[in-house]
Structure 1
């Protein structure tokens, strides 16, 4: 019978767990609990607890971790088994090749949101002094990722949550773009007075009905305000699309992340507001995930 981690001696070989066997132990626990990515989560938590890189983990896999590591791992494992997302345990999320601080006050940036970054950078190619507006910025990952790639671009990040903006400021400083990213608290455009080449947003788009079926790992840890899109999931899009034209420069564009089934509805909203050149892009799963549109005043 496997001895539970918290019942093992906390001293080197007496525990019977090397770094590698500790990782396997966690993987088994996570598999039995139905964790979606048990091996990855176990590896990330062991790396965080030991301070080892992925390469060092391979090289030092037969070493016995110090006693303090067991206490850290036990805490991490209990939190993960209780449903806490790996991002929140680690305190960061990797996004577009960079590490961003995340907390319960912000939505962790997802890989599919990188579509917005790629589309923005393609549109900014060859432009100088471009200005971008990130609505509902959260951790600031979208705006910061663009500014780190476009050295002369300027950004404005808006969020209703002061706590979220504090995280965005930290991330901007960490990635050396704080002097080019202004952050303001407000609801969508209420604090905006400038005009922009690009307006971007990953707004809340989950319907009230769908919210009831989300995994506890999502509803228990991600901020509700960053998820809930109203009865039809379109509340934020209606607000953004209705007001965006008066804040776009001539020939400016809007980039919006969307739910997998919202392409036709958001396209209709854009067409009603006289946007043109509307295109929909798919994520790696083949689902509609981003809409791009131009506004020619």
Structure 2
């Protein structure tokens, strides 16, 4: 019978491509034991049942083959909340929490705000906003039916069905109302980009990653910026996440449409988010 320490050591040995193999091992073992990965028990050495150890080794092999940890666990924590994650949705990234932080600041003085998210995915962004702001109501648009199903399950999990309408569609097409804020983290990777990690390309949905509109990483931003007028109130705006090196180009597209633009950096000092607002006449 294996011990917990032996299993974690096996993770450290096998997961040579992981930035934190010991943490991956604790996550997987906690998942199988149905305890929190921060449980102090995991830092102790204890006997692990053979069936659990065997399942751990199976998951370890899949992790070693590049499968995202979130897919193995079936959920991922974002902004302090757990969201179901499957291969049909993008795994929420920590840098995307900047969008939630900024959106909450923008909406701070607005009562009962109306928010739309284009490309809702797992529901992590607008779901976190709705959890943090119980008076918020909104609409999430998603082009992938399977991803929309995941979003609806997460809405049910967090008791948000009455406040968030989730619809199948592309960009602004399904939206009819005016909003206080529109949020989007659109596909911005250029097809064939050598910087895209092979494990990400192999296991996460292409439709959520790659710009197949114009092929330069900016196609979705052009559509969102060109379609924004008439979608938000006069005090409203569009909050976007972008890839490294894209912020200035997106800002120029916005200014050409007479929007004022603010840019913020993520924790790695990379320009990561833009806020378009106050369109001039």
TM-score range, shorter chain: over 0.9
Match of 2:174 in 1: 191
Match of 2:88 in 1: 105
Alpha-carbon distance, 1:26 to partner: 1.4
Q: Does 1:21 align with 2:1?
A: no
Alpha-carbon distance, 1:62 to partner: 2.3
Q: Does 1:76 align with 2:59?
A: yes
Alpha-carbon distance, 1:180 to partner: 0.2
Do the aligned partners of residues 46 and 86 (structure 1) sit closer, same or farther apart at CA in structure 2, a change above 3 Å counting?
same
User: Contact 1:50–1:65 at 8 Å: present in 2 too?
Assistant: no
Match of 1:92 in 2: 75
Q: Which is greater in Rg? A: 1
Q: Does 1:164 align with 2:167?
A: no
Q: Which runs of 5+ in 1 are unaligned?
A: 1-11
Do the aligned partners of residues 214 and 258 (structure 1) sit closer, same or farther apart at CA in structure 2, a change above 3 Å counting?
same
* Equivalent-residue separation in structure 2 for 1:283 and 1:138 (angstroms): 21
Match of 2:183 in 1: 200
Match of 1:290 in 2: 273
2:161 to 175, 178, 188: 178
TM-score norm. by structure 1 comes to 0.90
User: Contact 2:187–2:217 at 8 Å: present in 1 too?
Assistant: yes
Report the secondary structure of 2:203's partner residue.
Answer: coil
1:261 to 229, 245, 248: 245
Do the aligned partners of residues 270 and 85 (structure 1) sit closer, same or farther apart at CA in structure 2, a change above 3 Å counting?
same
Do the aligned partners of residues 75 and 246 (structure 1) sit closer, same or farther apart at CA in structure 2, a change above 3 Å counting?
same
Do the aligned partners of residues 59 and 162 (structure 1) sit closer, same or farther apart at CA in structure 2, a change above 3 Å counting?
closer
Do the aligned partners of residues 54 and 222 (structure 1) sit closer, same or farther apart at CA in structure 2, a change above 3 Å counting?
closer
Q: Does 1:40 align with 2:4?
A: no
User: Contact 1:245–1:295 at 8 Å: present in 2 too?
Assistant: no
Match of 1:251 in 2: 235
Q: Does 1:220 align with 2:198?
A: no
TM-score norm. by structure 2 comes to 0.95
Alpha-carbon distance, 1:122 to partner: 0.5
2:216 to 214, 232, 235: 232
User: Contact 2:225–2:254 at 8 Å: present in 1 too?
Assistant: yes
Alpha-carbon distance, 1:52 to partner: 2.9
* Equivalent-residue separation in structure 2 for 1:295 and 1:200 (angstroms): 16
Q: Greater shift after overlay, 282-291 or 213-222?
A: 213-222
* Equivalent-residue separation in structure 1 for 2:238 and 2:164 (angstroms): 19
1:263-278 equivalences in 2 (<5 Å): 263-276=247-260, 278=261
Q: Which runs of 5+ in 2 are unaligned?
A: none
Do the aligned partners of residues 24 and 133 (structure 1) sit closer, same or farther apart at CA in structure 2, a change above 3 Å counting?
same
Any idea what the Cα deviations from partners look like across 1:184-243, whole Å, max 9, x if unmatched? 101111111111000100000011241x44222101111001111242100000000000
Please provide the CA RMSD for this pair. Answer: 1.5
Alpha-carbon distance, 1:123 to partner: 1.1
Alpha-carbon distance, 1:30 to partner: 1.1
